[in-house]
Amino acid sequence: MHLVERWPPGALRSRLDCGTMVCSTGWHMKASFHLLPSADHSAWNDSVSVEDGLPVRDSGPWIHTKHRLLAHYADMFSTGMKFKWKSRVYLELFSGPGRCLIRDTGREEAGSPLNIIGHEFTKFIFTEMSVAAAQALTKRLEPFENASLSEVWCGDCAEAIQHISIPSDSLTFAFIDPTGIGHAPFSLIETLHRKTRCDLLINIQHGMGIKMNIHQYAPGRSEQLALTRFLGNDAWESLPRHNAREFFLGVLDLYKGQLDRLGFSFIGREVLISNRQGVGLYLLLYASKHARGAEFWEKTRRGVLDPELDFGT
């Protein structure tokens, strides 16, 4: 079914793809919006922006570190590979509405897509399950010149990734930022591996997803567990569970082994993101198939993080 296009006077008309609305504002095109059958049409339950009336994602102050690391690496990637790869794609799974509300301060800040959209990629791809959030993101991308290079896929990312088209000669930077351990099964990584040459930055739910739920991980229940889907196998069942930290480190080693099996042999030093009480929330894990990527990540860590802090797991 085709959606209706509205064109301002004098605007150049683009083609309208089936199920996709592509509109023009002035001389700039909007991001294309793709609505998938798996999209979540539920009402938005988080906050709404006082600035533009659109949905915002409730967040904590710890997102500052995540966004700074992401933007710093994206800049190194998109500029450093500019003359080696004509096509440089940024792919973000679980993108959100494009703006965040910091609960502690009540301040609104740009989300990860808006922190990235100004960088020198040749294509931007965002996936988001919530229709309300995906529509808000599409609207917020409009003022940016690179909006014309952007696609917003609304639906389950596993479905979206089957439809997304990435040029065969591309180098892709994929940011996988789920809110739960069960939302990013290893099958997603396997699909990405088959689809494009890519570097990965993965949000691993260190605290809420694994350590605090250690009591749930009992042998014999593997087929039902998010942890099995996350790892892509049930090898975690052989890990001792008397210590939550040691259990997580074992899971992390298994996950790195799975990445290495796909050719992601260059694993950067991970960054633990904690709340103000020092409780670890999630881990940012970087992986590449080339040593240059790991070099970029190490420079990113050194350029962003306080060298006095220990970011071990």
Q: What is the CATH number of the domain that holds 170?
A: 3.40.50
* 8 Å CB contact between 127 and 175: no
Query: Given this model, what pLDDT does residue 226 score?
Result: 82
pLDDT bin (cut points 50, 70, 90) of residue 309 is very low
pLDDT bin (cut points 50, 70, 90) of residue 16 is very low
| pLDDT reading at 237 higher than 90 | no
Query: Given this model, what pLDDT does residue 4 score?
Result: 31
Residue 200 token pair:
């990965």
| Pick from 36-45, 93-102, 202-211: least confident | 202-211
- Does residue 27 form part of some domain? yes
Structural domain for 102, as ranges: 1-45+83-177
- Does residue 143 form part of some domain? yes
Q: What is the pLDDT of residues 248-270, one digit of tens each?
A: 899 999 999 999 999 999 999 99
Higher pLDDT, 266 or 6: 266
Higher pLDDT, 10 or 75: 75
- Does residue 72 form part of some domain? no
Residue 237 token pair:
């069942």
- Does residue 131 form part of some domain? yes
Higher pLDDT, 67 or 12: 67
pLDDT bin (cut points 50, 70, 90) of residue 221 is low
- Torsional class of 226: left (φ above 0), alpha (ψ -120 to 50), beta (otherwise): alpha
CA dist., res. 143 & res. 139, Å (int)? 8
Helix/strand/coil for 123: strand
Burial class (CB in 10 A: 0-12, 13-18, 19+), 87: middle
- Does residue 76 form part of some domain? no
pTM, two decimal places: 0.86
DSSP label at 308? T
| pLDDT reading at 71 higher than 80 | yes
- Does residue 52 form part of some domain? no
Q: What is the pLDDT of residues 98-125, one digit of tens each?
A: 999 998 899 999 999 999 999 999 999 9
Phi first, then psi: give them for residue 236, nearest 5 degrees.
-65, -20
Averaged pLDDT score across all residues of the chain: 85
- Does residue 283 form part of some domain? no
| pLDDT reading at 165 higher than 80 | yes
Number of domains comprising the chain:
1
- Does residue 207 form part of some domain? no
